[in-house]
């Protein structure tokens, strides 16, 4: 079995790469449409993987409520709140607030699941979080993207939405942890989580059909969306939940939160804009914390 730390570290690499594909759709497709595509596209891929690996046999009826709840909280509430937070306060600040999901998950795991964390891991979590803050604060902005002009009301709204997205993401991991610890197949579990989210998002789309005009989208948009979703969610998030089979929530959540660091070289390659040296210091700090967590 692959160690939980390796799975958790593979997750941000996949999520960062998937995000690069999804970023190509920014401003071209509505957020609600992108969200639906991101949730629905990985389901056939994950269902096929679960079938090939015999993963459906590991699913018990008692697992379903936990997975459905986890899917709705993580893929609907957290995703929607994060997207709204980006619109309110910009991607940089929204990402900083969302990175709180790791310490929130660690605290909830301690309070609700009785998971203890060693002093070394606590120090490692602090290093990872601090490194992420530095890396995000100094990473290059996307070409043509200016800072969002904030007033007090918009700032409060954006911060509140960002905090909601972080808390929801943490709660989705807590909800799934008892099930994942029973050695359920991760691909099957993710298929169920995504299917539950797809039902909710599909229902909302039908109810709001009059307020959003249907539009035909170029095939390349569908390809970008599908690739981003399969790599980022179908593989990346599945690695996170596979890590929860043997790893504690604090460790997995913290290592999986390294996406803002993992994306630095990808942004450099894509835009030709080298991150500042401070961002690399943040990345080094975060990965030092990850190494400390893995060895504590």
What's the CA gap between 85 and 78, in Å, rounded?
10
Q: Which two tokens stand for residue 273?
A: 């804009």
Q: pTM above the 0.85 mark?
A: yes
Are residues 55 and 187 in contact, defined by beta-carbon separation less than 8 angstroms? yes
Alpha carbon 213 to chain centroid, angstroms: 29
Which residues, 6+ apart, have CB-to-CB distance to 186 below 8 Å? 55, 180, 238, 239, 241, 242, 245
- Mind listing the pLDDT tens digit of every residue in the chain (296 residues)? 788 889 999 999 998 888 887 766 666 677 677 778 889 999 999 999 999 999 999 999 999 999 999 999 998 999 888 878 877 777 677 888 888 898 899 899 999 999 888 888 889 989 998 998 888 888 665 544 445 555 678 888 888 998 999 999 999 999 999 999 998 999 999 999 999 999 999 898 888 776 555 555 667 777 888 888 899 899 999 999 999 999 889 999 999 988 888 888 887 887 788 888 898 999 999 989 988 887 77
What's the CA gap between 237 and 229, in Å, rounded?
10
What is residue 151's predicted lDDT score, i.e. its pLDDT? 67
What is residue 175's predicted lDDT score, i.e. its pLDDT? 95
What is residue 141's predicted lDDT score, i.e. its pLDDT? 57
Residue 18: count of CB within 10 angstroms of its CB = 24
CA 78 to each of CA 2, 28, 117, 118, 200: distance values in angstroms, whole numbers, following the listed order: 28, 22, 25, 28, 13
What angle separates helix 219-229 from helix 31-40, to the nearest 10 degrees? Answer: 60
What is residue 3's predicted lDDT score, i.e. its pLDDT? 87
What's the CA gap between 221 and 90, in Å, rounded?
23
What's the CA gap between 140 and 190, in Å, rounded?
33
């Amino acid at each position: 079995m692959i160690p939980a730390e390796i799975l958790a570290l593979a997750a941000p690499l996949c999520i960062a790469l998937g995000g690069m594909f999804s970023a190509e759709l920014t401003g071209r497709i509505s957020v609600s449409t992108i969200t639906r595509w991101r949730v629905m596209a990985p389901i056939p891929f994950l269902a096929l993987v679960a079938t090939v690996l015999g993963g459906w046999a590991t699913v018990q009826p008692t697992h379903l409520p936990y997975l459905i709840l986890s899917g709705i909280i993580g893929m609907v509430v957290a995703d929607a709140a994060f997207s709204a937070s980006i619109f309110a306060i910009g991607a940089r600040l929204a990402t900083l607030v969302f990175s709180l999901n790791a310490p929130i998950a660690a605290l909830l795991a301690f309070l609700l699941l009785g998971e203890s964390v060693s002093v070394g891991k606590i120090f490692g979590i602090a290093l990872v979080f601090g490194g992420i803050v530095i890396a995000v604060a100094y990473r290059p902005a996307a070409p043509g993207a200016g800072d969002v002009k904030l007033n007090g009301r918009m700032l409060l709204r954006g911060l509140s939405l960002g905090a909601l997205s972080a808390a929801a993401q943490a709660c989705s991991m807590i909800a799934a942890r008892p099930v994942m610890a029973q050695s359920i197949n991760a691909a099957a579990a993710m298929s169920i989580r995504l299917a539950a989210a797809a039902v909710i998002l599909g229902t909302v789309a039908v109810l709001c059909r009059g307020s959003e005009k249907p539009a035909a989208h170029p095939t390349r948009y569908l390809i970008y969306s599908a690739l981003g979703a399969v790599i980022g969610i179908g593989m990346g998030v599945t690695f996170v939940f596979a890590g929860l089979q043997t790893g504690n929530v604090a460790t997995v959540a913290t290592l999986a939160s390294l996406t803002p660091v993992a994306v630095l070289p990808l942004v450099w390659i894509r835009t030709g804009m080298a991150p500042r040296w401070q961002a690399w210091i943040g990345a080094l700090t975060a990965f030092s914390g990850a190494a400390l967590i893995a060895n504590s």
